[in-house]
Homo-oligomer: A and B are copies of this chain.
């Protein structure tokens, strides 16, 4: 970028030579470009990207990819055709997360109504802080939150969309803290006793990150024991809360999980609620992953007791396929705690002498200023298929998982670690050379290496994507997430065949 600011021959800045009426952007030319880019998106991302005959990913190492993409930003602009080629290249070398063989994360698939809502949100380019500038979205967010709360079992309450479940979890901590000690907002943590957060070792890492970020510190998280299924043991929670109190610290919040990240376990909410009530501790449910079971009559029992929580974090961008990001924090509170806790009352934005009800200016409920519109995509998708359609998606995913597990049990090399409670299928693939040799000294070391090698091969060949990790004393195992409605039995069978093909020689 040595020539980032070339001067014209007379030393004047080139912009000053132009008339200030010159718009610098040509609408029809711009719309033409957008139209061409849209065609590429349809073709490369939505047609090819969802076609099982195409690759999930076109792997390149970082050096090769950087060279291919020519990422450097320069002084001069580029012609439209070259820019369209860049759009194509970005699409080509990006992972196709909507591909039926992408099982790598807690999101996948594509919903076209949601996607239309996302394009519309982007084009409208507004900021969800005041009714003045986002009238439609202030009302829509309120209604979407109300409908989500209704599924939780609350007829009243509050809430807000956050940039991800981690933020929702942090908000819950901050609200719990403010409820107990409102002076913390002005005086900081030095003015209050030591606070303790309770969660299981299998909860999401955002509990740790949140405790650190909010100044509480990760040492002030007490880890509660889990049962063989990865679910909090309520008795242990009770004991640890008592112990905390006896040591003079204040139990702040229990962060339960509905759908843990690795195993997909659901903590027993009803029994945890008993304990939280007894000790007057804020009960937060991190249902970022599992919350969507609330749509299903058949599976909502997994979250029995959720209505007794103080707060619930739920990400419809995960299994409902609303698109990143769509993360709701739902609250039972009716005392305006969210606004009291987070507000700064900026007079330039939240003027009190407006001609409409200033309670519609929801922006002061969050610690963000600019806040994206994340409700439209969910709203439009929900309007399109109804609660019944969303329930069907949930049920279908469970059924596919059941099918996958059945098939897995029929094959010799697949060792399921736990019967899945949710959509996380955790298993080892045991290559033929290792079968029956569990007693060997190097067995665990060898096993730990199987998943990484198979993963490398599948990525480099682009045939499928599935995650792996260790957990506790279990060495690396695959965690296959089955959530997309676009997935079929054939994709399940393929996945097992493919893992065998990639790992049989190990």
Q: Is A189 an interface residue (CB 8 A)?
A: yes
Chain B residues near A124 (CB-CB < 8 A):
45, 90-91, 94-95, 97
Residues from chain B with a CB closer than 8 A to the CB of A346 are: 205, 261
| A98 lies within 8 A of chain B by Cβ | yes
Residue in contact with A62 in the complex, picked from B60, B357, B372, CB distance below 8 Å: B357
Residue A496, interface by CB 8 Å: no
Asked if A179 is an interface residue, CB under 8 A from chain B, the answer is: no
Contact of A105 among B116, B127, B167, B354 (CB under 8 A): B127
Task: Determine whether A210 belongs to the interface, using a CB cutoff of 8 Å to chain B.
Answer: yes
Number of copies: 2
User: A147 near B384 (CB under 8 angstroms)?
Assistant: no
User: Looking at the complex, which of A65-73, A223-231, A433-441 is the stretch in contact with chain B?
Assistant: A65-73
Chain B residues whose C-beta falls within 8 Å of the C-beta of A465 in the assembled complex: 132-133
Interface string of A322-334 (1 = CB under 8 A from B): 0111010000000
Please tell me if the beta carbons of B166 and A367 are within 8 angstroms of each other in the complex: yes
Quick one: given A356-B62, A488-B23, are A369 and B115 in contact (CB under 8 Å)? Answer: no
- Smallest beta-carbon distance A184→chain B, Å: 7
A459 at the interface (CB under 8 A from B): yes
The reply to whether the CB of A351 lies closer than 8 angstroms to some CB of chain B is yes
Chain A residues with a Cβ closer than 8 Å to the other chain, count:
195
Question: How far is it, in angstroms, between the C-alpha of A120 and the C-alpha of B91 when the chains are bound?
Answer: 8
Of the candidates B87, B170, B388, which one forms a contact with A76 in the assembled complex, judged by CB atoms under 8 Å apart? B388
A279 beta carbon closer than 8 Å to chain B: no
Q: Is the CB of A65 within 8 A of B133?
A: no
Q: Say whether A136 contacts B20, CB under 8 Å.
A: no
A134 near B95 (CB under 8 angstroms)? yes
Residue from B27, B205, B213 within 8 A of A50 (CB atoms):
B27
Given the known interface contacts A133-B95, A188-B216, A325-B370, the answer about A27 and B46 at a Cβ–Cβ threshold of 8 Å is yes
Binds B, one of A11-19, A233-241, A408-416: A11-19
- Which single member of B6, B77, B115, B468 contacts A383 (CB below 8 Å)? B77
Given the complex, which residues of B lie within 8 Å of A501, measured CB to CB? none
Report 7 cross-chain contacts, Cβ distance below 8 Å, ordered by A residue.
A1-B150, A62-B357, A93-B136, A188-B216, A205-B369, A212-B367, A261-B346
Which 3 A/B pairs are nearest by Cβ-Cβ distance?
A215-B215, A188-B217, A30-B112
